[in-house]
Chains A and B, each alone.
Chain A
Amino acid sequence: MRHKDDMRNNLRRHRLHTDGMTQQDLADLVGVTRQTILSIEKGRYNPSVGLALRLARAFGVSVEELFELEEGDEDG
């Protein structure tokens, strides 16, 4: 059975590789709170499609490069 929690993300890696961007910088860029960025990075919150797209655009990458499903959970 697939769970939404089986998703992981590379947000933190991309953020730190972008001139040491802080969580607050990224939060300001996409219009959310720093706590939201922190929760996404820690895997406690999976963002909406809209926010995922904004985050991907902020780094100039595709959504799939930021978020990916854990291996082995492709089928139900």
Chain B
Amino acid sequence: MARSGALRRRPTPAGIVAGGLVVAGFALTALDWGFLALAALGTFGPGILRELGVLKDHDEFQRRAAHRAGYHAYLAGGLVAFLFVAAIRSGAMEIGDLGEVATLVLIVLWFTWFLSSLLAYWGPRRTAVTLLLIFGAVWLLFNIIGNIESPVAMFMQCLLAVPFFALAFVARRWPRTAGVILLVISAFFFYFFKLYRLFSEPLFEMGRPMVLILFIGPLVASGIGLLHSGTNKEPTPAEPPEAETSG
């Protein structure tokens, strides 16, 4: 009963096209913000096509993970949106640019969906390792691009990516240790970026909410996930567990 077109983890054509649209959309915003619609198409298009039954590149486990993540995103995004409406309409908050509010709600929505779907699909340990590798890679990429004319500065800046890769290595073997280190690092960055001023200054000054969600958020989520995976016992299987990588 072998099936053709078996589902593998390699990127699907739809994923590659969607990724291309997202990258192109964001890159072209330098010319015109209208191109952001391309990024929206890449972000939400595949999901819409899957719900319409046109795209069938996910199995039931992936669909369940995406659906659960969608509900979590609805809860988080809806809550934040309601709080903003309440704060703005009551006069407790003055927003100069409503685009910033919409962007923040969108980031909360997307980040919650992304994190939740990763956690549901891969579990906390692998999610944390993946996030750390993404963090390290993004840091490397930005520093290489930003210091292309100064090799020494590029090298020094790139060294800062090493702790993320090292933590990804530690997280595979000692998840609780890595979890604690990540939470400590998160606290350090919270003070380093002066994020505590969120509570005393205008919300959108210096884009702090974005930093909190996109930078500190993954680190805290990874740390908590690793602590959770390190302390919780795996469900009792009908036989002794073996290595995850078998097969």
Contacts and interface: CB of A to CB of B under 8 A. Distances in A.
Q: Do chains A and B interact in one complex?
A: yes
A35 B237 CA distance: 17
Interface string A13-30: 100000001111111111
A36 B62 CA distance: 8
B5 to A, nearest CB: 8
Contacts of A51: 60
A53 B237 CA distance: 20
A38 interface: yes
A61 interface: no
B121 interface: yes
A64 interface: no
A8 B8 contact: no
Contact of B235 (A5, A13, A24, A37): A5
A58 B237 contact: no
A5 B234 CA distance: 12
A10 B239 contact: yes
Given A12-B242, A30-B1, A32-B59, 4 more contacts: A36-B61, A42-B241, A50-B60, A54-B1
Contact of A31 (B3, B62, B237): B3
Contacts of B1: 29-30, 54, 57-58
A24 B122 CA distance: 16
Interface in B205-247: 234-239, 241-242, 244, 246-247
Given A24-B247, A28-B2, A41 B60 contact: no
Interface string A44-76: 110110110010011000000000100000000
Interface residues of B, number: 26
Interface majority SS (helix, strand, loop, mixed), chain A: helix
Contacts of A26: 247
Contacts of A43: 234-237
7 contacts: A22-B247, A23-B247, A31-B59, A32-B7, A39-B121, A42-B244, A51-B60
B6 interface: yes
A12 to B, nearest CB: 6
A35 B6 contact: no
The 9 residue pairs across chains A and B that have the minimum distance between CB atoms: A23-B247, A43-B235, A22-B247, A28-B6, A36-B61, A32-B59, A31-B3, A33-B7, A10-B238
A44 B6 contact: no
Contact of A32 (B61, B121, B123, B242): B61
A39 B121 CA distance: 8
A25 B122 contact: no
A36 B234 contact: no
